[in-house]
Amino acid sequence: MAASSCDRGDTRKKLQITVVFLVRTLLLACIIARGVLALIRVAFRVAVVAPARSLVAVAGAAFSAVNARCAWCLEQAALGRSCTGTVLGDAVVGAMASSWRLLLQGITSLVFLCARGADEYVRPPPSPLVLTAHGKPASHPQQVHISTVGEKNMRISWVTDDLNAPSVVEYGTSPGKYTASATGDHTTYRYFLYKSGAIHHATIGPLEASTTYHYRCGKAGDEFTLRTPPARLPVEFVVVGDLGQTKWTASTLSHIGGGGGDYDVLLLPGDLSYADTQQPLWDTFGRLVQPLASARPWMVTEGNHEIEALPVVGIAPFAAYNARWRMPREESGSPSNLYYSFDAAGGAAHVVMLGSYAEFEEGSPQRAWLERDLAGVDRRRTPWLLALVHAPWYNTNEAHQGEGERMRRAMESLLYEARVDVVFAGHVHAYERFTRIYDNEADSRGPMYITIGDGGNREGLALKFIKGHKSAHLSEFREASFGHGRLRILNETSAVWTWHRNDDQFATVRDEVWLHSLAAGEPAATVASAAGGGGGHPADEL
């Protein structure tokens, strides 16, 4: 019996030793397998990923260098300067630079087309770009534009090639006599080998309403003049979308400024420069719009052409847009430069600038901000409430069908409950005005929806409207022509909207409608007219 007990003890001990051995062997095998996998990953990165990234980086650097050189050659030609010192050399280099620019435009359009799907609306050929050169010293300001900051302040933004130029604005009410000054800050950004100049921002004020101020940026260069918006109604907004920098753009800008600048604030619902990764085009755009943007506040929101994200090389979205076009997000409690709000006419009008390309679903920061912002609007003090977004929520054009639908479903109820009067959009390169709508039905308590993405972009017009579209009965007027719009708010109850077509030699009022503020109770029937357009009926035959 004693021998049997010893045998069982030995067997149990051997079994335990065997189990421990197997477990240790398994653990060792796992460790070896993990080591092998780690070596494989390292080898893969060394043999494949690193060379691929290096190749992409080299290609990006080469691309940027060639692109920057071609842009410089085109700028020198615009200034009437020689690139090579000989007429023949300049002709050859100019032809090569122009061919390169056209090639890039074609590649960019092809990439966008492939990314958006084969059923994307095919646009007409692009218009030639208008490249505005800068031939002044490096310390002189360029690309000057202004925006409202709070009730009595203005932000002045400009660029200098001199990175050490001071971020100072001197200003006063008499030419050349500056009684005040403000110091701001500056930033730069990189995009491949492109490095921006110093982008300055300085806030001046407090300023008197409806007053002309003369100012100088960085203690150098030209003097500029601005007029502050009024402290009470009436107030006039110019609205223009998808601007770009083409001959069509130049026509639009000339018509906007042709009346001596008789407006107070310009609203732009996205797609500014159409740089599309070609960063020097941000500079030429800033110089093109400077005569208008330095004289009246330009309040903008982003479009799809501002994204410019390149994850492969680590370029974040909206890098150029956020650096160059700083809007009053802090003052409106917004966590992002992509959406914000501001007051006009002493708070008689509240303008909400929404971001089509920032998160907007339930629980998103933008939606939470919008709920807070609208909840803070007292319609007894603020009879007019406007909203801007890039991708339209209602659209009967073949171009960009349904691209704003997700945002509409997420946010339309908020605007409806707040009794927003008008919603402006861009993106579709045509003009279209809808009746007051809520949830795809006519509703006298809903906003009027207006698409005005016809500022002058390089892609051409969206010429085809869908006659049998489900929203066609809600569309009051539509036409594919370049132009701009004006909303003149006359008093607490009445405003007039006009759309000015500018593919004629002179801007022509093509559409006009009177609006009644939703804060004033149930609106009367809108009265619309269309010059030559059949009393506001849809213009399908173009």
The DSSP secondary structure of 231-297, one letter per residue, reads: SSS-EEEEE--S--SBHHHHHHHHHHHTTSS--SEEEEES--S--TT-THHHHHHHHHHHHHHTTSB
Place of tokens 């399908």: 540
**Which two tokens mark 541?**
């035959």
CATH number for the domain formed by residue range(s) 230-516: 3.60.21.10
For residue 129, the 8-state DSSP code is: B
Which residue did the predictor score with more confidence, 339 or 1?
A: 339
Q: Which of 13-27, 50-64, 163-177 has the lowest mean pLDDT?
A: 50-64
pLDDT recorded at residue 115? 41
Which residues are known catalytic residues?
400
Nearest to 517 by CA among 312, 377, 403: 377
Interval 379-404 mean pLDDT: 97
Question: With 60 as the cut, is the pLDDT of residue 449 above it?
Answer: yes
Q: What value does the mean pLDDT take over residues 511-532? A: 72
pLDDT above 80: residue 108: no
Q: Are 292 and 276 in contact (CB under 8 A)?
A: no
Please name the residues in contact with 295: beta carbons below 8 A apart, sequence gap of 6 or more: 146, 224, 225, 226, 227, 261
pLDDT of residue 192: 82
Q: Could you tell me the pLDDT band of residue 141, with boundaries at 50, 70 and 90?
A: very high
Instruction: With beta carbons less than 8 A apart as the criterion, state whether 446 and 438 touch.
Output: yes
Q: What confidence score (pLDDT) does residue 66 get?
A: 63
How many CA within 13 A on the CB side of residue 125?
3
| pLDDT-derived band at 59, boundaries 50, 70, 90 | low
Tokens of 510: 């093509």
- pLDDT at residue 8 tops 70: no
**In 3D, which of 378, 370, 323 has the Cα closest to residue 347?**
378
Query: What is the gyration radius of the CA atoms in the chain, in angstroms?
Result: 29
Dump pLDDT digits (tens) for 289-343. Answer: 999 999 999 999 999 999 999 877 778 999 999 999 999 999 999 999 999 999 9
The answer to whether 132-228 and 230-516 have equal CATH topology is no
Q: Quick one: pLDDT at residue 33? A: 73
> What pLDDT is stored for residue 308 in this prediction?
94
Choose among 464, 305, 454, 302: nearest CA to 398: 464
pLDDT per residue over 399-417, tens digit each? 999 999 999 999 999 999 9
Distances in Å between the alpha carbon of 443 and those of 48, 161, 447, 449?
Answer: 59, 53, 8, 12
Residue linked to tokens 């300055």: 200
Whether residue 206 is preceded by a cis peptide bond, meaning omega within 30 degrees of 0, is yes
* Alpha-carbon span 193 to 188, nearest angstrom: 13
**Mean pLDDT for the chain?**
86
- What is the tens place of the pLDDT at every residue in 62-106? 655 565 566 556 556 655 667 677 767 766 666 666 666 556 555
Q: What type of residue is 324?
A: R
- The pLDDT, as a whole number, for residue 49 is 53
Average pLDDT for residues 492-506, to the nearest whole number?
Answer: 89
pLDDT at position 113 over 50? no
Q: Is the pLDDT of residue 345 over 90?
A: yes
Average pLDDT over residues 516-537: 58
Q: For residue 245, count other CB atoms closer than 10 A to its CB.
A: 28
Cα gap 70→281, rounded to integer Å: 12
pLDDT at 27 > cutoff 50: yes
Residue 346 — very low, low, confident or very high, per pLDDT cuts 50/70/90? very high
Q: Which band of pLDDT confidence, cut at 50, 70 and 90, is reported for residue 222?
A: very high
How confident is residue 542, by pLDDT bands cut at 50, 70 and 90? very low
Token readout for 79 is: 């200034």
pTM to 2 decimals? 0.79
Range in 26-35, 73-82, 114-123, 261-270 with the lowest mean pLDDT: 114-123
State the chain's maximal CA–CA distance in angstroms: 119
CATH architecture of 132-228: Sandwich (2.60)
Q: What is the pLDDT of residue 61?
A: 54
What's the rounded Cα separation, in Å, for the pair 237 and 489? Answer: 8
Domain ranges in the chain?
132-228, 230-516
When pLDDT is cut at 50, 70 and 90, the band that residue 21 belongs to is confident
Query: Is the pLDDT at 2 greater than 80, yes or no?
Result: no
Least confident of 95-104, 113-122, 370-379: 113-122
In the chain, what percentage of residues exceed pLDDT 70? 78
- Phi and psi torsions of 32, nearest 5°: -65, -45
